[in-house]
Amino acid sequence: MQTGLAGKVVVVTAATANIGRGIALAFAAEGARVVINGRDPVAGELVAKLAREQGAADVLWRPADMTVEDEVAGMVADTLAAFGQIDVLVNNVGGNVAVTPFASSTPQQWRADLELNLMTTFRCTHLVLPGMLERGSGRIINIGSTAGFIGDRYLAVYSAAKGAVHAFTRVLALELGETGITVNAIAPYGTRSDDPYSDMSSGSRLHPEHGVFARARAEDPERMLAIGRKTALPRNHARPPEIGAAAVYLASEAAAFVTGHTLQVDGGVSLV
């Protein structure tokens, strides 16, 4: 498939591990100019190196915390200074603050979940959009979750936030429909590498020591077992390159007539 992505400037937030890394490397393989964002400098430099090896036309590793407005603005400004424009924005920041029944959760946890999963998408999109509107072209891809459709037990606010990401995707696509900008989302399920430790970052929720899932497993193993779902396929998790392939499609010329859609890459989890 001719994607038309060679030389395009693609910003991938939270690109240092798992889904974000898979997306960044998929665009690199298309010859795009890839901006890799994250907070872990060691993981970031590694992904930048791998992106160059995959064939990226250029790579910018730009650390920034997407929950801090000034840092997001700085990353966008540095990207524009380096490359002149942003053609594709992938809002991948997300995760879980805690794994707990809603009844025992706290307002502080709610705010943190909403900030991480929803406000980061609003913030980065709002800063990148003016340049896309000026040029009359662009692709915005938001990473949602199957949790936003069917809900994940013990992750009520996370599920609500991802549902909001899906709704935001539809409304923004409608608002921007006549501008030449498309807005779509991807809803993965349970994504991890077959060797998850090979693409770990210090802030990953899958981190074996610091990650939220590791903490939850230590506190209540039964609760973690209750979260998992079966898919309709032989394996029960997606792989990062599969999410990357979906993102490449939605950003490509082949998807020029696709907007307001949330593509589920979930192994048919909602069927069983």
pLDDT in tens, 164-200: 999 999 999 999 999 999 999 999 998 877 665 566 5
Q: Which residues of 17-42 are buried (b: 16+ CB within 10 A; e: fewer)?
A: bbbbbbbbbbbbbbbbbbbbbbbbee
Listed in sequence order, the DSSP H helices in 176-253 are 212-219, 221-227, 240-251
Pairwise CA distance, residues 86 & 226, whole Å: 41
Quick one: average pLDDT of 54-79? 97
CA distance linking residue 57 with residue 59, whole number of Å: 7
Q: What is the CATH number of domain 9-266?
A: 3.40.50.720
- Domain residue extents for the chain: 9-266
Helices (H), ranges, the chain: 18-29, 41-54, 69-83, 107-114, 120-135, 147-150, 156-175, 212-219, 221-227, 240-251
Enter the tokens of residue 211: 């990650």
Measured CA to CA, the distance from residue 190 to residue 123 in angstroms comes to 25
**DSSP bridge partners of 34:** 10, 59
Give percent above pLDDT 90 in the chain.
79
Question: Is 90 exceeded by the pLDDT of residue 262?
Answer: yes
Q: What are the residue numbers of the active site?
A: 158
Q: Within 13 Å, how many C-alpha atoms sit on residue 125's CB side?
A: 25
Point out the least confidently predicted range of 96-110, 148-162, 173-187, 192-206: 192-206
